[in-house]
Amino acid sequence: MLPRAKKRLGQNFLVDETYARRIVGALAPRAGETVLEIGPGRGALTSPLVESGARVVAVEFDRGLVAPLRSRFAERENFTLVEADALEVEFCSVIEPDASARVVANLPYNISTAILQRLIERRRCVSEMVLMLQREVVARITAPPGSTERGYLTVIVEAYCEAEALFDVPPGAFRPVPKVWSTVARLRARAGGPEVGDERLLWRVVSAGFAQRRKTILNNLRAAPGDLRARVEAVGGAATLLEAAGIEPARRAETLALDEWVAVTRALEGPPSVRRVQD
Ligand code: SAM
Protein backbone atom coordinates (compact mmCIF):
# COMPACT_ATOMS: atom_id res chain seq x y z
CA MET A 1 0.00 0.00 0.00
CA LEU A 2 1.20 3.53 -0.75
CA PRO A 3 2.02 5.75 2.25
CA ARG A 4 -0.29 8.66 3.12
CA ALA A 5 0.49 12.03 1.54
CA LYS A 6 2.79 14.21 3.64
CA LYS A 7 1.83 17.86 3.77
CA ARG A 8 5.28 19.00 4.89
CA LEU A 9 6.72 17.56 1.66
CA GLY A 10 4.16 19.38 -0.47
CA GLN A 11 2.61 16.10 -1.55
CA ASN A 12 -0.41 16.78 -3.72
CA PHE A 13 -0.29 13.92 -6.16
CA LEU A 14 -1.57 14.37 -9.69
CA VAL A 15 -4.32 11.79 -10.24
CA ASP A 16 -5.81 13.08 -13.50
CA GLU A 17 -4.00 11.21 -16.23
CA THR A 18 -5.09 13.66 -18.93
CA TYR A 19 -3.09 16.42 -17.25
CA ALA A 20 -0.14 14.10 -16.64
CA ARG A 21 -0.03 13.39 -20.38
CA ARG A 22 -0.44 17.06 -21.27
CA ILE A 23 2.49 18.01 -19.04
CA VAL A 24 4.77 15.33 -20.45
CA GLY A 25 3.44 16.18 -23.94
CA ALA A 26 4.53 19.81 -23.39
CA LEU A 27 8.07 18.54 -22.86
CA ALA A 28 7.78 16.08 -25.78
CA PRO A 29 10.62 13.82 -24.57
CA ARG A 30 12.70 12.10 -27.22
CA ALA A 31 13.88 8.51 -26.92
CA GLY A 32 17.40 8.44 -25.50
CA GLU A 33 17.57 12.03 -24.23
CA THR A 34 18.00 12.55 -20.49
CA VAL A 35 15.04 13.98 -18.59
CA LEU A 36 15.40 14.95 -14.94
CA GLU A 37 12.24 14.64 -12.87
CA ILE A 38 12.11 16.26 -9.45
CA GLY A 39 9.74 14.68 -6.95
CA PRO A 40 8.30 11.72 -8.91
CA GLY A 41 5.95 10.95 -6.00
CA ARG A 42 3.65 8.11 -7.02
CA GLY A 43 4.85 8.22 -10.60
CA ALA A 44 2.05 10.16 -12.35
CA LEU A 45 4.52 11.95 -14.67
CA THR A 46 7.23 9.30 -14.42
CA SER A 47 5.12 6.69 -16.12
CA PRO A 48 4.51 8.56 -19.44
CA LEU A 49 8.10 9.81 -19.27
CA VAL A 50 9.50 6.27 -19.04
CA GLU A 51 7.10 5.15 -21.79
CA SER A 52 8.59 7.79 -24.10
CA GLY A 53 11.93 5.98 -24.11
CA ALA A 54 13.79 8.95 -22.63
CA ARG A 55 16.42 8.21 -20.00
CA VAL A 56 14.62 9.32 -16.84
CA VAL A 57 16.57 10.39 -13.75
CA ALA A 58 14.16 11.05 -10.88
CA VAL A 59 15.10 12.72 -7.57
CA GLU A 60 12.79 11.87 -4.67
CA PHE A 61 13.28 12.86 -1.05
CA ASP A 62 10.56 10.80 0.62
CA ARG A 63 11.94 7.41 1.63
CA GLY A 64 8.45 5.96 1.81
CA LEU A 65 7.98 6.56 -1.92
CA VAL A 66 11.34 5.25 -3.03
CA ALA A 67 10.60 1.53 -2.63
CA PRO A 68 7.24 1.63 -4.49
CA LEU A 69 8.84 3.65 -7.32
CA ARG A 70 11.76 1.24 -7.56
CA SER A 71 9.49 -1.80 -7.77
CA ARG A 72 7.08 -0.14 -10.23
CA PHE A 73 9.85 0.72 -12.69
CA ALA A 74 12.21 -2.15 -11.81
CA GLU A 75 12.03 -3.61 -15.30
CA ARG A 76 12.79 -0.32 -17.02
CA GLU A 77 16.42 0.21 -17.90
CA ASN A 78 15.77 3.85 -18.80
CA PHE A 79 14.76 4.72 -15.21
CA THR A 80 17.14 5.78 -12.42
CA LEU A 81 15.92 6.83 -9.00
CA VAL A 82 18.08 9.10 -6.89
CA GLU A 83 17.06 9.29 -3.25
CA ALA A 84 18.07 12.86 -2.38
CA ASP A 85 16.97 16.34 -1.41
CA ALA A 86 16.42 18.52 -4.48
CA LEU A 87 17.59 21.48 -2.41
CA GLU A 88 21.01 19.89 -2.00
CA VAL A 89 21.63 17.39 -4.77
CA GLU A 90 24.02 18.38 -7.54
CA PHE A 91 21.77 18.36 -10.62
CA CYS A 92 24.69 18.39 -13.06
CA SER A 93 26.16 15.24 -11.45
CA VAL A 94 22.98 13.14 -11.28
CA ILE A 95 22.39 13.45 -15.02
CA GLU A 96 25.89 12.21 -15.92
CA PRO A 97 27.19 10.95 -18.29
CA ASP A 98 25.02 13.53 -20.06
CA ALA A 99 26.13 17.14 -19.73
CA SER A 100 22.67 18.59 -20.19
CA ALA A 101 19.09 17.52 -19.54
CA ARG A 102 15.57 18.83 -19.73
CA VAL A 103 13.53 18.94 -16.56
CA VAL A 104 9.93 18.13 -15.78
CA ALA A 105 8.36 18.45 -12.34
CA ASN A 106 5.25 18.98 -10.35
CA LEU A 107 7.16 20.84 -7.67
CA PRO A 108 6.35 20.72 -3.96
CA TYR A 109 4.76 24.13 -3.43
CA ASN A 110 6.52 25.02 -0.20
CA ILE A 111 9.98 24.90 -1.80
CA SER A 112 9.14 25.43 -5.47
CA THR A 113 10.82 28.82 -5.83
CA ALA A 114 13.97 27.63 -4.02
CA ILE A 115 14.20 24.64 -6.38
CA LEU A 116 13.51 26.89 -9.38
CA GLN A 117 16.38 29.19 -8.36
CA ARG A 118 18.71 26.20 -7.97
CA LEU A 119 17.74 24.93 -11.42
CA ILE A 120 18.42 28.35 -12.92
CA GLU A 121 21.81 28.44 -11.19
CA ARG A 122 22.58 25.11 -12.86
CA ARG A 123 21.40 26.24 -16.30
CA ARG A 124 24.64 25.04 -17.89
CA CYS A 125 23.19 21.52 -17.51
CA VAL A 126 19.47 22.36 -17.63
CA SER A 127 18.35 23.56 -21.05
CA GLU A 128 14.58 23.57 -20.64
CA MET A 129 12.07 23.04 -17.85
CA VAL A 130 8.39 22.21 -17.89
CA LEU A 131 7.24 22.90 -14.35
CA MET A 132 3.93 22.80 -12.57
CA LEU A 133 3.83 25.59 -10.02
CA GLN A 134 1.24 27.41 -7.99
CA ARG A 135 -0.66 29.70 -10.37
CA GLU A 136 0.43 32.81 -8.44
CA VAL A 137 4.10 31.83 -8.81
CA VAL A 138 3.76 31.55 -12.59
CA ALA A 139 1.99 34.93 -12.65
CA ARG A 140 4.96 36.30 -10.71
CA ILE A 141 7.69 34.84 -12.92
CA THR A 142 5.99 35.97 -16.13
CA ALA A 143 4.93 39.44 -14.89
CA PRO A 144 5.90 42.24 -17.31
CA PRO A 145 7.37 45.56 -16.09
CA GLY A 146 4.65 47.63 -14.44
CA SER A 147 2.81 44.65 -12.99
CA THR A 148 2.42 44.59 -9.21
CA GLU A 149 3.22 40.87 -9.36
CA ARG A 150 6.76 41.62 -10.42
CA GLY A 151 9.55 40.95 -7.91
CA TYR A 152 13.12 39.73 -7.41
CA LEU A 153 12.32 36.23 -8.75
CA THR A 154 10.74 37.71 -11.91
CA VAL A 155 13.92 39.58 -12.75
CA ILE A 156 16.09 36.49 -12.13
CA VAL A 157 13.89 34.38 -14.41
CA GLU A 158 13.89 37.13 -17.06
CA ALA A 159 17.68 37.41 -16.93
CA TYR A 160 18.38 33.75 -17.50
CA CYS A 161 15.29 32.21 -19.13
CA GLU A 162 12.45 32.71 -21.53
CA ALA A 163 9.34 31.85 -19.54
CA GLU A 164 5.83 31.19 -20.78
CA ALA A 165 2.67 30.02 -19.01
CA LEU A 166 1.19 27.01 -20.82
CA PHE A 167 -2.06 25.95 -19.11
CA ASP A 168 -3.84 25.89 -15.75
CA VAL A 169 -4.56 22.75 -13.73
CA PRO A 170 -7.54 22.76 -11.32
CA PRO A 171 -7.27 21.60 -7.68
CA GLY A 172 -9.49 18.58 -8.44
CA ALA A 173 -6.71 17.02 -10.53
CA PHE A 174 -4.75 16.26 -7.31
CA ARG A 175 -5.10 14.14 -4.19
CA PRO A 176 -5.21 15.47 -1.59
CA VAL A 177 -7.03 18.40 -3.21
CA PRO A 178 -4.99 21.61 -2.71
CA LYS A 179 -6.55 25.00 -1.97
CA VAL A 180 -4.89 26.62 -4.96
CA TRP A 181 -4.81 26.33 -8.74
CA SER A 182 -1.64 25.34 -10.54
CA THR A 183 -0.15 26.47 -13.82
CA VAL A 184 2.27 24.62 -16.04
CA ALA A 185 5.07 26.82 -17.35
CA ARG A 186 7.93 26.35 -19.79
CA LEU A 187 11.30 27.94 -19.08
CA ARG A 188 14.09 27.86 -21.63
CA ALA A 189 17.61 28.84 -20.60
CA ARG A 190 18.93 31.85 -22.51
CA ALA A 191 22.43 31.78 -23.93
CA GLY A 192 24.64 34.21 -21.99
CA GLY A 193 23.63 36.30 -19.02
CA PRO A 194 22.97 39.94 -18.21
CA GLU A 195 25.70 42.29 -19.45
CA VAL A 196 27.23 43.44 -16.21
CA GLY A 197 30.72 43.00 -14.82
CA ASP A 198 29.56 41.32 -11.63
CA GLU A 199 26.24 39.45 -11.64
CA ARG A 200 26.21 39.24 -7.84
CA LEU A 201 26.18 43.02 -7.70
CA LEU A 202 23.17 43.07 -10.06
CA TRP A 203 21.24 40.73 -7.71
CA ARG A 204 22.13 42.84 -4.68
CA VAL A 205 20.87 45.94 -6.49
CA VAL A 206 17.62 44.22 -7.50
CA SER A 207 17.13 42.86 -4.00
CA ALA A 208 17.70 46.30 -2.44
CA GLY A 209 15.39 47.89 -5.03
CA PHE A 210 12.52 45.60 -4.06
CA ALA A 211 13.21 45.72 -0.30
CA GLN A 212 10.16 47.86 0.45
CA ARG A 213 7.72 47.61 -2.39
CA ARG A 214 5.82 50.79 -1.57
CA LYS A 215 8.97 52.89 -1.58
CA THR A 216 10.49 54.49 -4.67
CA ILE A 217 13.63 53.05 -6.23
CA LEU A 218 15.45 56.15 -4.95
CA ASN A 219 14.50 55.56 -1.32
CA ASN A 220 15.18 51.83 -1.49
CA LEU A 221 18.67 52.43 -2.90
CA ARG A 222 19.31 55.10 -0.27
CA ALA A 223 18.44 52.49 2.38
CA ALA A 224 20.51 49.71 0.76
CA PRO A 225 22.33 47.39 3.17
CA GLY A 226 25.84 48.40 4.40
CA ASP A 227 28.45 47.66 1.74
CA LEU A 228 26.05 48.24 -1.17
CA ARG A 229 25.13 51.63 0.29
CA ALA A 230 28.83 52.47 0.50
CA ARG A 231 29.19 51.69 -3.20
CA VAL A 232 26.15 53.81 -4.04
CA GLU A 233 27.64 56.67 -2.06
CA ALA A 234 31.00 56.21 -3.77
CA VAL A 235 29.38 57.12 -7.12
CA GLY A 236 27.71 60.23 -5.66
CA GLY A 237 24.59 58.76 -4.01
CA ALA A 238 21.36 57.13 -5.17
CA ALA A 239 20.01 60.17 -7.07
CA THR A 240 23.24 60.57 -9.08
CA LEU A 241 23.37 56.84 -9.75
CA LEU A 242 19.80 56.76 -11.07
CA GLU A 243 20.40 59.84 -13.20
CA ALA A 244 23.50 58.18 -14.71
CA ALA A 245 21.39 55.10 -15.47
CA GLY A 246 18.60 57.20 -16.98
CA ILE A 247 16.02 56.04 -14.41
CA GLU A 248 13.38 58.42 -13.03
CA PRO A 249 13.98 58.31 -9.24
CA ALA A 250 10.27 58.37 -8.32
CA ARG A 251 9.65 55.03 -10.03
CA ARG A 252 9.03 51.83 -8.09
CA ALA A 253 11.09 48.67 -8.55
CA GLU A 254 8.21 46.77 -10.20
CA THR A 255 8.26 49.20 -13.16
CA LEU A 256 11.90 48.52 -14.06
CA ALA A 257 12.68 46.16 -16.93
CA LEU A 258 15.76 43.90 -16.80
CA ASP A 259 17.83 46.22 -19.01
CA GLU A 260 17.12 49.09 -16.58
CA TRP A 261 18.41 47.03 -13.63
CA VAL A 262 21.44 46.29 -15.77
CA ALA A 263 21.86 50.03 -16.47
CA VAL A 264 21.79 50.83 -12.73
CA THR A 265 24.36 48.11 -12.01
CA ARG A 266 26.63 49.27 -14.83
CA ALA A 267 26.43 52.86 -13.58
CA LEU A 268 27.48 51.55 -10.18
CA GLU A 269 30.35 49.57 -11.65
CA GLY A 270 31.72 52.52 -13.56
CA PRO A 271 33.28 52.40 -17.05
CA PRO A 272 34.34 48.95 -18.39
CA SER A 273 38.04 49.50 -17.66
CA VAL A 274 37.24 50.21 -14.00
CA ARG A 275 34.95 47.18 -13.95
CA ARG A 276 37.76 44.92 -15.10
CA VAL A 277 40.08 46.22 -12.43
CA GLN A 278 37.44 45.50 -9.77
CA ASP A 279 36.95 41.96 -11.03
N1 SAM B 1 5.29 14.14 -9.43
C2 SAM B 1 4.25 13.64 -8.55
C3 SAM B 1 2.90 13.98 -9.11
O4 SAM B 1 2.84 14.81 -10.04
O5 SAM B 1 1.91 13.44 -8.64
C6 SAM B 1 4.39 14.21 -7.14
C7 SAM B 1 4.30 15.71 -7.04
S8 SAM B 1 4.20 16.29 -5.36
C9 SAM B 1 3.48 17.89 -5.64
C10 SAM B 1 5.88 16.75 -4.95
C11 SAM B 1 6.87 15.62 -4.83
O12 SAM B 1 8.13 16.16 -4.46
C13 SAM B 1 6.54 14.58 -3.77
O14 SAM B 1 6.77 13.29 -4.28
C15 SAM B 1 7.51 14.89 -2.63
O16 SAM B 1 7.82 13.78 -1.82
C17 SAM B 1 8.70 15.39 -3.41
N18 SAM B 1 9.59 16.25 -2.64
C19 SAM B 1 9.28 17.11 -1.64
N20 SAM B 1 10.36 17.75 -1.19
C21 SAM B 1 11.41 17.29 -1.93
C22 SAM B 1 12.80 17.57 -1.95
N23 SAM B 1 13.33 18.44 -1.10
N24 SAM B 1 13.58 16.90 -2.82
C25 SAM B 1 13.04 16.00 -3.70
N26 SAM B 1 11.73 15.71 -3.72
C27 SAM B 1 10.91 16.34 -2.86
Residue 1 in any domain: the answer is no
Distance CA 60, CA 39 (A): 5
Residue 220 in any domain: the answer is yes
85 CA from centroid of ligand 1 (Å)? 10
Residue 264 in any domain: the answer is yes
Distance CA 201, CA 168 (A): 35
Its pTM stands at 0.93
166 CA from centroid of ligand 1 (Å)? 21
CATH number at residue 161: 3.40.50.150
One digit per residue, the tens of pLDDT, for the chain of length 279 reads: 678 889 989 999 999 999 999 999 999 999 999 999 999 999 999 999 999 999 999 999 999 999 999 999 999 999 999 999 999 999 999 999 999 999 999 999 999 999 999 999 999 999 999 999 999 999 999 999 999 999 999 999 999 999 999 999 999 999 999 999 999 999 999 988 999 999 999 999 999 999 999 999 999 999 999 899 999 999 999 999 999 999 999 999 999 999 999 999 999 998 765 554 444
Whether residue 140 is found in the same domain as residue 228? no
Whether residue 125 is found in the same domain as residue 243? no
Residue 132, SS3 per DSSP? strand
Core vs surface per residue 109-136: b (16+ CB within 10 A) or e:
bebbbebbebbbebbebbebbbbbbbbe
Whether residue 147 is found in the same domain as residue 219? no
Using the 3D structure, point to which of 157, 189, 221 is the last residue of a domain.
189
Whether residue 182 is found in the same domain as residue 230? no
Distance CA 32, CA 114 (A): 29
Whether residue 170 is found in the same domain as residue 44? yes
Q: Does the Cβ of 48 fall within 6 Å of ligand 1?
A: no
Range of the domain at 121: 7-189
Whether residue 15 is found in the same domain as residue 35? yes
Q: Does the Cβ of 86 fall within 6 Å of ligand 1?
A: yes
Whether residue 152 is found in the same domain as residue 269? no
Whether residue 122 is found in the same domain as residue 210? no
Nearest atom of ligand 1 to the alpha carbon of 20:
4
Count of domains forming the chain: 2
Q: Does the Cβ of 85 fall within 6 Å of ligand 1?
A: yes
Residue 2 in any domain: the answer is no
Whether residue 38 is found in the same domain as residue 121? yes
Mutate to test the pocket of ligand 1, among 60, 115, 116, 118 (most ligand atoms within 8 A of CB): 60
Using the 3D structure, point to which of 189, 215, 244 is the last residue of a domain.
189
Phi and psi based region of residue 47 (left: phi greater than 0; alpha: psi -120 to 50; beta: remaining): alpha
Whether residue 80 is found in the same domain as residue 165? yes
Whether residue 225 is found in the same domain as residue 118? no
CATH number at residue 228: 1.10.8.100
Q: Does the Cβ of 104 fall within 6 Å of ligand 1?
A: no
